[in-house]
Amino acid sequence: MTDTSISLDILLSAFDWVSAAAPSENLAYISRQTGTAYWASDVNDSPDELPDDIDDAAIYLAVPHKADLDLGRALAMRFAQDALPDFCDTVEDYFRAGGAYGRFKRLVESKGMLNAWFAFEAQAVEAALRAWAQDNGLQIAP
């Protein structure tokens, strides 16, 4: 059996949708047979009508949330360790309360590192999604 193919853009969009809300609020699924993406939300109107068998993990693969791939707090801490080592304690303190990501981005911007953060984040997200796709029998279309 060959791997199902999905475009990186669709996978990134589905991942962004899932990660734009708290875990389990926005959901996205990929058909293991066709590579089609389906989007749903527990808090907003669902953009797609979901197939009746969407809960069958043998047929549909749930797209992970950024927290599932250590792309939230852990990624910000890795960036701080690499790019802002003098501010690691500050960043760690940010993530002990709500609004941490906004405060983190303001710090990064104040140090002139916002573009570096966005590039670091984008590279980490793409690498994590490629690994996740491979682990789950999805091939990223060229």
Q: Under 8 Å CB-to-CB from 119, ≥6 apart: which residues?
A: none
> Per residue in 63-101, pLDDT tens?
999 989 989 899 999 999 999 999 999 999 999 998 999
DSSP element (H, E) containing 6: strand 4-7
Indicate the range of 3-17, 42-56, 87-101 predicted with least confidence.
42-56
Residue 1's pLDDT is: 42
pLDDT of residue 47 exceeding 70: no
Extract the tokens encoding 136. 């789950």
pTM of the model: 0.86
Tokens 């809960």, residue located: 55
DSSP element (H, E) containing 135: helix 114-135
Pick from 23-37, 39-53, 114-128 the range whose average pLDDT is largest: 114-128
pLDDT of residue 31 exceeding 60: yes
| 46-78 residues labelled b (16+ CB within 10 A) or e (exposed) | eeeeeeeebeeeeebbbbbbbeebebbbebbbe
Extract the tokens encoding 139. 């091939």
Residue 72's pLDDT is: 87
Averaged pLDDT for residues 17-28: 90
Domain boundaries, the chain: 4-64+129-141, 73-121
Residue 45's pLDDT is: 67
pLDDT of residue 23 exceeding 90: no
Q: What percent of the chain has pLDDT over 70?
A: 94
